[in-house]
Amino acid sequence: MCKLLLPLIAAGALAAQIVTPGPQVLTFLSSVDDSDQPYAIYVPKPFDPARRYPLVISLHGSGSNHRLNLRRVFGKGNLPLETDSDATHYFPALKTVDFIVASPFARGSMGYQGIPESDVYAVLEDVKRRFPIDEDRVYLTGLSMGGGGTLWLGLTRPDVWAAIAPVCASTPPWAEELAGNALNVPVRLFHGDQDPAVPVESSRRWHKQFLDLGVKAEYVEYPGVRHNSWDPAYKDGAIFDWFANFQRQRHPERVRFATRAYKYGSAYWVKLDGIAPGALASIDARFTGKNRLEVATAGVDGFTLELTGHPIFAAGSPLAVTIDGTALRARPAATVSFRRTAKGWQAGRLALPATAKRAGAEGPLPEALAARHIYVYGTADQPGDEELKRRRDTAATASDWSSPRARLMLSFAVKADRQVTGRDLETSNLVLFGTRETNSLIAKYADRFPLALERSAADYGLVFVAPIDHGHYAVVSSGLPWWTGAEAAKRPGLRYEPLPYRVLQTFPDFVLFKGSLGNVLAEGTFDREWYLPAEAAEKVKASGTVMVPQRAAVK
């Protein structure tokens, strides 16, 4: 088919579909649990399928939903004496703006990491599939829990967004160290100085940190306002006027980017090819002239520069690149790679061993639960009825992420090991309970696992993650379930997340405890090739309860 016809066909398809202007609810099919997930959307009137529209993604707070949040971002709060339940039933008249606005549901109140995070990007893709979107004018805002989500999504993938606006942000752990990633993303923070739920000092600290790092950040603080700063922040749809000032920088002169994960391994024209597990890796790359770059790194073993289309790059001419003080010349190419060697930095792509950590096979534990997964209890040792019920109940407890306070739109399969099909193994991560003696799937993958709990270790709990077939993960929970004693342990985590999930969100690659999570004997991150680090190995072996298979012995 002629490439010139494709834009015409796409425009014709959009013109042919029926587009209803105004606020409404749409759904997308989630690959996580095969469910239809809702999101609220506003479509401008009149709608012109021949033009491309700016898009605002707006994230709701804890205890709220997509419908209420669409009202909020337009400055439409509840009427006097109107409950959230009543306000959810209808959309009021909204200000006419020249934006498409989408508000994901995010499964309820569980933050915007893991599955809700992937839902936000699924909504973004679904909106782009349905409507003509200007990808250089995609904006992100949110309130409270959604404000924290705005910071997390905005900082982990800064090259997606033209600008972000967090409102009284309840910040997720590990976000502040990424503040410098917003170098090319304008930020506007809002907070009430009497906020009893999220202390105002949080936004003040964020604002100072942004300014210290050279980020274009504004901060609006409302005297006397409590935990409803979205009311003045979004009044009369003012946020759209602010967003209209910005477009995404596709090719910034300087890219500063930090990450702990290959999952968030690139920004703009920089991609990290090798990072140290569990540590913060950073790169600061800037053009100092035509085809001249200076690069500073920390915790980076290799990186690639993709310079196609950059206005300061001249195709056909060599590159002069200084990396951590070492001057190198690179061949004329739009894509160039560099790797750290024993002799220092050299041109060339970093080659990772087949068993090395990489995107989709790097952990930590929460990553296994961030996608489609199945909870599996063991029957290999032919347990009696009472024991079988206990095992099934343990797996079911782990699979139920809801709480009396928050009912979440999630549904995960719970199966006995003998019920897991080949299709399950091809499509899902596995959460396996038991030991190699009790669970046939743990036995199946035992030679690949870096740890194993002795079956006799009744008062211990071991949980770890490891890669298995088809690009999937297995989480193994042996002995006491990973959430045993979690409330008393008071591990960090977002308060609105359900307990088993909230606790697991705080784990690195492995945790070994005795009696309860209040008595952790060892926890940490496996090294680049999923080996147990020496210091952790000593602690694990000292317990006398954990086997360290030969393949995972300390190198």
pLDDT of residue 503: 86
**181 φ/ψ angles, rounded to the nearest 5 degrees:** -65, -15
pLDDT of residue 412: 95
Integer CA distances (angstroms), 221 to 60, 229, 235, in order: 20, 9, 14
Q: From CA 453, how far away is CA 457, in angstroms rounded?
A: 7
pLDDT of residue 435: 96
pLDDT of residue 15: 46
414 Cβ contact list (under 8 Å, min separation 6): 374, 375, 376, 377, 392, 395, 396, 399
pLDDT of residue 5: 47
DSSP string over 237-250: GHHHHHHTT----S
pLDDT of residue 494: 66
283 Cβ contact list (under 8 Å, min separation 6): 255, 256, 257, 258, 270, 272, 295, 296, 297, 300, 303
Q: What is the CB neighbour count within 10 angstroms for residue 337?
A: 18
C-alpha of 245 from chain center? 27
**Which of 202, 204, 183, 177 minimizes the C-alpha distance to 260?**
177
**Which of 235, 321, 261 minimizes the C-alpha distance to 286?**
321
pLDDT of residue 407: 78
> Taking a C-beta distance cutoff of 8 angstroms, is the pair 112, 134 a contact?
no
Tell me the residue ranges of DSSP E strands in 152-228: 163-167, 187-192, 217-222
Structure tokens at 88: 């959810």
Structure tokens at 349: 């792509």
pLDDT of residue 326: 96
Q: From CA 23, how far away is CA 394, in angstroms rounded?
A: 42
Mean pLDDT by 10 residues, the chain (555 residues): 46 59 97 95 95 98 95 94 93 96 92 94 98 98 97 98 98 91 98 97 98 98 97 97 98 98 97 95 98 98 97 94 96 94 96 93 95 97 97 95 79 97 97 97 95 91 96 97 88 72 89 95 95 91 86 43
pLDDT of residue 4: 47
Integer CA distances (angstroms), 325 to 354, 438, 535, in order: 31, 56, 33
Task: Look up residue 107 and give its DSSP letter.
Answer: T
Structure tokens at 42: 């506003």
**Which of 391, 393, 399 minimizes the C-alpha distance to 417?**
391
Burial class (CB in 10 A: 0-12, 13-18, 19+), 98: exposed
**543 φ/ψ angles, rounded to the nearest 5 degrees:** -70, -25
Q: Which residue intervals of 188-330 are DSSP H helices?
A: 200-212, 230-233, 238-243
Integer CA distances (angstroms), 320 to 317, 336, 447, in order: 10, 11, 47
Q: From CA 234, how far away is CA 321, in angstroms rounded?
A: 45
Q: What is the CB neighbour count within 10 angstroms for residue 533?
A: 17
pLDDT of residue 190: 98
